[in-house]
Structure 1
């Protein structure tokens, strides 16, 4: 399985039965463990003598980690564990919860000459360590809901709920997608199955649900409704690290129950796929170890799901090192935060607040901030609801000023892999913010937020941010990084070049000394170094991706300009930002004036010449970029015009057809009306004849 290199080898053992273990053996195992602990000896475990056909594994129909047999019920009317408190895991800190001892030796055994692999509970914890960041685990569960958009999902809810047994906080994630039938939920809670065949689907390994839920809490219960083939089903599954550790299991056991709608009575009944003994055994395990102590409480969880959808409740949430729940529900009632992850930004005191409140910093501890940029695009029909409030989608491209668009065409072996459009620019708050880097998406999903490809010195690269969607490279299975392939390394190198190039040519736009300049052009004939106001330049408008050319007051930045020089602002319209820079703020200007008259005159001439060259360079550069954008926009408008014209012709033809049909119907209606009038006359005459005959008789 991809990305499981760190898994402890002790988590995979051989067993003589099949991967699944029956609840039927539960009491025997517990009694045996008690005997072993009492006597201090080790004994072999009793195994179910039933073995599964290996072909079931290849067809995907096996219940590899699902209970196969149930303990006979004590009372057929139902089972309740109202007085049982669901124990918390032995250690509530995630990074220390991997120390697990099942109490008995698990030996490699053979049955009928065959041996089988099973999954040790330790694997649940080892597998979840791939998520270093709790929000990355939550994002995986949101991905499952987003993938359900194709099945009609219109929302996903992320909220706090309470464990009714001890009132401790739990995490709720619910969507109204297609839901899972009994087979699908078993594949979801098993290892190595993936139903996501669509190229647009975010998930691919079938491992995300287990890694993400076990990273957030020790236990998870899943409720899912599915309506298909005129059959409505309700399924419940429990994946509990607490249950497995405290009962000393040496394999993963997942209690599950299923209900089907009886179309005659209209009631949900036990699914016919298993006998009642199996059902009651699994139900008893659910009631003992889940947050709900009665079957009625379990079924009540389906009330707000409807006929289709899935509800995931993660409880016994992990603690941080300070002894508090890792997910902070209290600081902001409309958000979920990671306690202790608020970082102080090293910046000028006057700029510290804007840096700390910038999304590049807030996304690390605010789930609302992270979810707002998690997807590059999101359908208008789908919403993410966090703590009862909609999450407003944020397009990071709109946060940039002085935008440029760069097409990157990665190649391997001389063959072009893809064509990627990268948007690069300065953050709106630049130069006051220190954030920089690229936001790289994969199949619409954010993988690397504000990834710093350069380590800037002397502020080189400060505030430079880019946005791109790189579908030609593969993300790691936790979706928080990319596989370090040669293609990705080439991308990293190209993004570094983009950052340096953009900064060196455009840093003057935010008040820094320009590093590089475009080739100079001849100065205009009407300006002379001897003119007193030769440093005055007319405003030059730059449109870099500016929709309407927003208007703001010009701000004059004085960088080394003598007070005597007069300049008019150079207005730069990019994404509703206008900045006025001194035309004489070019590289090479002296910040000190010479005391002698000749030197003063010489320096003034140098400054004026530099001002003219820089202003014209800026104008040429802006016009070039504007022309490129206009060419692209023109092509788009032409294509759109062709589409609209084709639609117009289609509608015109339909209108003519409808007019013809209306005329035909009117003619037919006239014929029918005439026939109706004739029949009415005939009927009247017949009535007259009948009356005359009646009078005669």
Structure 2
């Protein structure tokens, strides 16, 4: 595609003219308007002037450094502990969210794979918009050659307004009862849990209008420049498919400032490199690149890309805690153990159902879907009709049975799904060791998961479900 750039609201001037620094009172006024209307050159979080030099937007921009601390559980020691602050602008109250919140918000994900699953949920929700695949892979950061995590789908993509909602907190367009996401917080928590920085490329086609947007959420940028509020640089384009031209949106000054920040703090040092990332997206889709990946407390990279070229592992395989006797290898190779440290295994059971038209591709190879219920022998199907205050909350069919490898393994638990997504592998402490041979599968849509989607809210309905599952185990035995 011929890359010719014009400003939609000022076509007479070329984008390469350097923008002039703006005064603080002007910035605060623009910030107020952005927050009230949802439109912004950065994100709706903050449009404030950056303290970094915004005049250089060529490939000579400074190389993006790594975050101050590469260990996730220690990276929250932000030097400027001003916290969030409220300001009064034009008679309205606004809350500036401190960058510390990005890290503290991400700690809801105790497990790295849970964060990856959160990002895949967005792709699964796009099946209703025609998505046919999601790719999870390792790529190389062109700045320094370090590993980065790629997650890409061919869903409907996001227009500029949707991109800003994605980068903001608490916004969610997902109104359907069948979709997994609902809180409008998953992208921020999951991406920041996996790495210090994430850049998003999205192309969207609507009413013959083709837009492409780029957004950067960078903990490194915010901490190294001493920001006391979250600033999210974004640029947007409108493509004219008949002429092959690309029109930059939102005006020269806005565009130039945001582009300069992207070129300084993203993995790409020129606008050409940024736009090249859309080459494999097609007419619609979204590409997420997480870089400056976190290290574990031991100083090693948390995600292991080297042990298996077709997998991503948690660094340091989980040591089996069961009997180290003759059946130790059988225990270790069982799916109930391997999903803790093998992403391929975890993704194989993450969704209860996957359409044949959709595929999850991990490091170039499709993930084979695995239904735990098929691993059971002598299965029984038990109906449960939960009630609350005398009202029926739903109908649940639980599949329960012996594991195929029983009695040589001692694994017991229920895989509890919510809206097709694995939330909890529930293990009960039972008195009789023989009960360790059972397993079960159910989909409980009448209870709500926590924000991390690795557990359920401890409501009375959930407690009743736990009690009933224990009873099912005894009754089956």
TM-score between the two structures when normalised by the length of structure 1: 0.63
Matched, 1:318 2:285: no
Shift of 1:269: 2.4
Moved more, 64-73 or 147-156: 64-73
1:57–1:82 Cα change, 3 Å: closer
Give the gaps of 5 or more residues in structure 1.
1-22, 29-44, 504-697
Match of 1:298 among 248, 253, 274: 274
Q: 2:453 aligns with which of 479, 482, 485?
A: 479
Q: CA deviation at 1:165?
A: 0.7
Give the corresponding residue for 1:93.
Answer: 71
CA distance in 1, matches of 2:404, 2:83: 62
Q: Deviations over 1:524-571 (max 9, x none)?
A: xxxxxxxxxxxxxxxxxxxxxxxxxxxxxxxxxxxxxxxxxxxxxxxx
Superposed CA offset, 1:585-611 (max 9, x none): xxxxxxxxxxxxxxxxxxxxxxxxxxx
1:189 aligns with 2:167: yes
Deviation per CA, 1:342-370, whole angstroms, max 9, x where unpaired? 22232252110010000000000000000
1:7-22 alignment, distance < 5 Å: none
Identify the match of residue 50 of structure 1 among 29, 34, 39: 29
Distance in 1 (CA, whole Å) between partners of 2:432 and 2:191 is 43
Using the TM superposition, give the Cα deviation of residue 268 of structure 1 relative to its aligned residue in structure 2, in angstroms: 1.9
**DSSP 3-state at the match of 1:213:** helix
- What's the CA shift for 1:412? 1.0
Whether 1:393 aligns to 2:369 is yes
- Give the counterpart of 1:64 among 25, 30, 44: 44
Question: What CA distance in whole angstroms lies between the structure 2 residues aligned with 1:102 and 1:27?
Answer: 24
Aligned CA-pair RMSD:
2.4
- Unaligned segments of structure 2, at least 5 residues: 1-17
Q: Do the aligned residues in 2 keep the contact of 1:356 with 1:362 (CA within 8 Å)? A: yes
User: What is residue 227 of structure 1 aligned with on the other side?
Assistant: 205
Q: CA deviation at 1:481?
A: 0.4
Residue 220 of structure 2 is matched in structure 1 by 242
Go from structure 1 to structure 2 and tell me whether the alpha carbon gap of 1:108 and 1:303 turns closer, same or farther (over 3 Å shift): closer
SS at match of 1:50: helix
Q: What is the match of residue 538 of structure 1? A: none
What is the Cα deviation at residue 74 of structure 1? Answer: 4.7
Q: After TM superposition, list the pairs within 5 Å mapping 1:267-306 onto structure 2.
A: 267-271=245-249, 274-306=250-282
> Given that residues 409 and 417 in structure 1 are in contact (C-alpha distance below 8 angstroms), is that contact kept between their aligned partners in structure 2?
yes
> Take 1:68 and 1:100, find their aligned partners in 2: how far apart are those partners?
20
Q: Is the 8 A contact 2:38 2:44 kept in 1?
A: no
Task: Return the match for 2:342 from 339, 347, 366.
Answer: 366
Contact kept in structure 2, 1:60 and 1:193, CA below 8 Å: no
1:244: how far off?
A: 0.1
Partner of 2:6: none
Equivalent residues in 2 for 1:490-529, closer than 5 Å? 490-503=464-477
Q: Is the 8 A contact 2:378 2:401 kept in 1?
A: yes
Q: Give the whole-Å Cα distance in 2 for the aligned partners of 1:485 and 1:380.
A: 35
Q: Is the 8 A contact 1:25 1:48 kept in 2?
A: no
Greater Rg by CA: 1
Number of residue pairs matched by the alignment:
457
In structure 2, the residue corresponding to 1:245 is in which secondary structure? helix
The alignment's TM-score, normalised by the length of structure 2, stands at 0.91
Q: How far off is 1:115 after superposition? A: 3.4
Contact kept? 1:159, 1:387, Cα under 8 Å = yes
SS at 1:461 equivalent? helix
CA distance change for structure 1 residues 202 and 305 in 2, over 3 Å: closer, same or farther? same
The equivalent position to 1:470 in structure 2, one of 423, 432, 444, is: 444
Higher relative contact order (CA 8 A, sep 6+): 2
Alpha-carbon spacing, 1:457–1:186, altered in 2? closer, same or farther (3 Å): same
What is the CA deviation profile of residues 594-635 of structure 1, one whole-angstrom value per residue up to 9, with x for unaligned ones?
Answer: xxxxxxxxxxxxxxxxxxxxxxxxxxxxxxxxxxxxxxxxxx
Q: Give the equivalent residue in structure 2 for 1:153.
A: 131
Q: Does 1:489 align with 2:463?
A: yes
Q: Distance in 2 between matches of 1:104 and 1:418?
A: 47
Counterparts in 2 of 1:73 and 1:317: CA distance versus 1, 3 Å: closer
Change (3 A) 1:155 1:112: closer
Higher percent of residues as strand? 2
Q: After the TM superposition, which parts of structure 1 deviate over 3 Å for at least 4 consecutive aligned residues?
A: 23-28, 51-54, 56-63, 66-75, 103-115
SS in 2 for 1:347: coil
CA distance, structure 1, for counterparts of residue 98 and residue 336 of structure 2: 39
Going by fraction, where is helix more abundant, 1 or 2?
Answer: 1
Contact persistence 2:85–2:96 (CA under 8 A): no
Q: Secondary structure at the match of 2:441?
A: strand
**What whole-Å deviation, never above 9, does each CA across 1:449-492 have from its counterpart, x for those lacking one?**
2x11x213341311200100000000111100001111000000
